[in-house]
């Protein structure tokens, strides 16, 4: 085994051999967990390495969500963690220390910060090539700029994209997508498949036109077997299905349990920090590790894979923190590349539009930020169209960040509302509005306006009033929401009597609303819970 001479995180430790269990490493210490929590878990203790064993390292990310800069220093979780400049330090250091290294991504590389909102994925595609990613798959947010935007991004990067259970053959971008890939490193042929999340009811149907989905369980093992027949020594699934502690086949565990030819699952979508691999016994009795790094690049996933002379793999797994300890080793040339893009957006994003005396948090069944959001929709409808609305409703997943105490900038608002949605005004009969409220209740509460008063019990509506009155089945109500929810065609919105969509991206309307709040309150931007939604 090689000695590590230049690894950034262990410059102060000299250990014979890399990742030897008797020598504690800085990346063993995961916040919130003890060293014991983060020790490698394998089905059996691996024997001492044999000369005939093959080995390589697979590094991986998932749900990076355009987190080019580190997370804010006062964030409620993982403050000052992540940042692509730091990530590159780790990747480069491991490549110097190890002869055979691959780098993969399990989807949702984009969407979540104003880098994507303003620059449409250009920075993220540059990052893929500059860090030397070898392969990736698609998440649901890769579709957020619609098919045209996805095609534009794919054209900017040389990294192969595998999506085994998506069929793009009826789209203009089919040439960019592969069912699978075999990538060779150090004489080892590593097969990759992509397992992708169902698009229906998750992705705006206008954003994925022509893409056909089928359950990954129907095709994943078949494709993995083909890779074996084509000479792959090992098959790794890049999954954007999500991790749950269940054996249902539309999650990672269920896939592993019901297949034979997948050796490892690198997951995404659920933003789960898996500190120790979840080993699942497949149909042949082999242990398949399921791993995931969380989100926003706060960890880099690391697995050393050894394949013995009988073709059986074993794994050594770590999550390596991406934090400020890496700042002194940042690549100056790469940093300069990022800074060029940062300068493009800084002037607009740094404009101060008000001051928040305290943090404005999100949450359910109601929250200060959720209440602000619901009220903003009602304000927008009247400000843009002179239309008074009865209900303003937003999806919780559309709120992607929080407002910190202090000056509030345009960039802060863009971070909260990064999506390219527009305001939609629809009219509904009361009976369909009740269906919408049923959805709110089943979701545990959603951002809604102050004119609504709702009590939820056991996931259902116990009582609800609009403007202080019960909902009349035959009366017509006006609802302010976003095109995404209307386009899904569910929750009573499919029966909209009329619909009117704004032309402006709604995040700019939110900026205007924040300006309005500041102007009305001496420059202060405040929000609070007021009991509009309660759970009994």
Residue 397 belongs to domain with CATH number: 3.90.780.10
**Residues 243, 95 share a domain:** yes
**Residues 493, 518 share a domain:** yes
Residues 76, 402 contacting (CB under 8 angstroms)? yes
Question: What does DSSP assign to residue 473?
Answer: T
Residues 78, 165 contacting (CB under 8 angstroms)? no
**Residues 234, 363 share a domain:** no
Instruction: Report which of 66, 85, 62 is spatially closest to residue 124, judged by C-alpha positions.
Output: 66
Going by their DSSP bridges, the two strands 299-307 and 54-61 should be labelled as: antiparallel
**Residues 429, 286 share a domain:** no
Helix (H) or strand (E) holding 280: strand 278-281
Residues 6+ apart with CB under 8 A from 190: 56, 58, 102, 182, 183, 184, 232, 233, 234, 235, 236
Instruction: Report which of 62, 58, 55 is spatially closest to residue 236, judged by C-alpha positions.
Output: 58
**Residues 241, 150 share a domain:** yes
Is the model's pLDDT at 26 over the cut of 90?
Answer: no
**Residues 335, 355 share a domain:** no
**Residues 424, 318 share a domain:** no
User: Does residue 5 or residue 320 have the better pLDDT?
Assistant: 320
Is the model's pLDDT at 64 over the cut of 80?
Answer: yes
Question: What does DSSP assign to residue 293?
Answer: B
**Residues 237, 97 share a domain:** yes
In-domain check, residue 355: yes
Query: What is the C-alpha separation between 379 and 516, in angstroms, rounded?
Result: 10
* Three-state secondary structure call for residue 461: strand
User: Does residue 74 or residue 55 have the better pLDDT?
Assistant: 55
In-domain check, residue 202: yes
Residues 6+ apart with CB under 8 A from 79: 71, 72, 73
Tokens representing residue 78 in the block? 């993982």
**Residues 120, 44 share a domain:** yes
- Domains in the chain: how many in total? 2
Domain span including residue 79: 8-343
Query: What is the C-alpha separation between 55 and 15, in angstroms, rounded?
Result: 20
> In angstroms, how far apart are the furthest CA atoms of the chain?
78
In-domain check, residue 1: no
| 168-194 mean pLDDT | 97
**DSSP per-residue codes, 15-72:** -SSTT-TTS--GGG--TTS-TGGGS---SSPPPSPPTT-EEEEEEEE---TT--SPPP
Query: What is the C-alpha separation between 345 and 432, in angstroms, rounded?
Result: 42
Residues 6+ apart with CB under 8 A from 198: 213, 215, 250
- pTM for the model stands at 0.82
Give pLDDT tens digits for 276-302.
Answer: 999 999 999 999 999 999 999 999 999
Beta-bridge partner residues of 491: none
| 125-142 mean pLDDT | 98
* pLDDT score at 76: 80
Give pLDDT tens digits for 424-451.
Answer: 999 999 999 999 999 999 999 999 999 9
**Residues 254, 375 share a domain:** no
**Residues 416, 268 share a domain:** no
Q: 277: buried, middle or exposed (CB in 10 Å: 19+, 13-18, 0-12)?
A: buried
Displacement of CA 279 from its chain's centroid (Å): 23
Is the model's pLDDT at 344 over the cut of 60?
Answer: yes
Looking at 316, 343, 370, which one is the last position of a domain? Answer: 343
Query: What is the C-alpha separation between 415 and 198, in angstroms, rounded?
Result: 26
Is the model's pLDDT at 21 over the cut of 80?
Answer: no
Looking at 303, 326, 343, which one is the last position of a domain? Answer: 343
**Residues 304, 185 share a domain:** yes
Looking at 291, 315, 343, which one is the last position of a domain? Answer: 343
The CATH number of the domain holding residue 144 is 3.60.21.10
**DSSP per-residue codes, 217-244:** GGTHHHHHHHHHHTT-SEEEEEE-S---
* pLDDT score at 52: 56
In-domain check, residue 2: no
Residues 436, 393 contacting (CB under 8 angstroms)? yes
In-domain check, residue 308: yes
């Amino acid at each position: 085994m090689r000695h590590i001479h230049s690894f950034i995180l262990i410059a102060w430790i000299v250990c014979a051999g890399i990742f030897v269990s008797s020598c504690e490493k800085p990346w063993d210490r995961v916040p919130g967990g003890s060293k014991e929590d983060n020790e490698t878990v394998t089905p059996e203790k691996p024997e001492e390495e044999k000369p005939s064993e093959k080995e390589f390292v697979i590094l991986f990310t998932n749900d990076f969500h355009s987190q080019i800069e580190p997370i804010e220093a006062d964030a409620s979780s993982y403050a000052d963690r992540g940042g692509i400049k730091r990530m590159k330090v780790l990747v480069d250091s491991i490549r110097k220390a190890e002869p055979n290294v691959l780098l993969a991504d399990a989807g949702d590389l984009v969407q979540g910060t104003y880098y994507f909102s303003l620059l449409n994925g250009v920075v993220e595609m540059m990052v893929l090539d500059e860090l030397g990613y070898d392969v990736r798959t698609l998440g649901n947010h890769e579709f957020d700029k619609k098919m045209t935007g996805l095609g534009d991004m794919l054209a900017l990067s040389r990294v192969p994209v595998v999506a085994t259970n998506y069929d793009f053959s009826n789209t203009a971008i089919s040439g960019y997508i592969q069912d699978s890939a075999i990538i060779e490193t150090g004489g080892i042929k590593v097969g990759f498949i992509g397992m992708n999340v169902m698009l229906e009811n998750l992705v705006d149907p206008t954003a994925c036109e022509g893409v056909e989905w089928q359950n990954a369980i129907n095709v994943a093992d078949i494709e993995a077997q083909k890779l074996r027949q084509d000479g792959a020594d090992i098959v790794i699934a890049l999954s954007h299905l999500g991790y749950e502690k269940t054996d249902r086949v539309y999650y990672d565990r269920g896939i592993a349990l019901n297949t034979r030819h997948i050796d490892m699952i690198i997951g995404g979508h659920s933003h789960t920090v898996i500190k120790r691999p979840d080993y699942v016994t497949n149909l042949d009795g082999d242990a398949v590790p399921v791993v995931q790094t969380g989100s926003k690049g706060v960890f880099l996933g690391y697995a050393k894979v050894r394949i013995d002379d009988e073709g059986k793999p074993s794994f050594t797994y770590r999550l390596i923190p991406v934090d400020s300890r890496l700042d002194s080793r940042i690549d100056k040339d790469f940093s300069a590349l990022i800074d060029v893009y940062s300068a493009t957006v800084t002037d607009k994003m740094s404009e101060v539009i008000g001051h928040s005396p305290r943090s404005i948090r999100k949450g359910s069944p109601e929250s200060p930020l959720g209440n602000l959001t619901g009220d903003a929709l009602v304000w927008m409808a009247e400000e843009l169209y002179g239309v008074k609305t009865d209900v303003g409703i937003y999806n919780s997943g559309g709120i992607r960040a929080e407002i910190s105490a202090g000056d509030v900038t345009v960039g802060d608002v863009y971070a909260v509302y990064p999506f390219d949605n527009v305001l939609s005004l629809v009219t509904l009969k009361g009976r369909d509005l009740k269906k919408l409220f049923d959805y709110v209740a089943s979701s545990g509460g959603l951002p809604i306006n102050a004119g609504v008063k709702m009590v939820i019990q056991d996931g259902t509506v116990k009582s609800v009033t609009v403007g202080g009155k019960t909902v009349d089945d035959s009366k017509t109500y006006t609802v302010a929401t976003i095109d995404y929810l209307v386009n899904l065609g569910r929750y009573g919105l499919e029966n909209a009597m009329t619909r009117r969509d704004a032309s402006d991206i709604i995040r700019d309307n939110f900026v205007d609303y924040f300006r309005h709040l500041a102007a009305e309150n001496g420059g202060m931007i405040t929000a609070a819970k007021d009991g509009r939604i309660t759970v009994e």
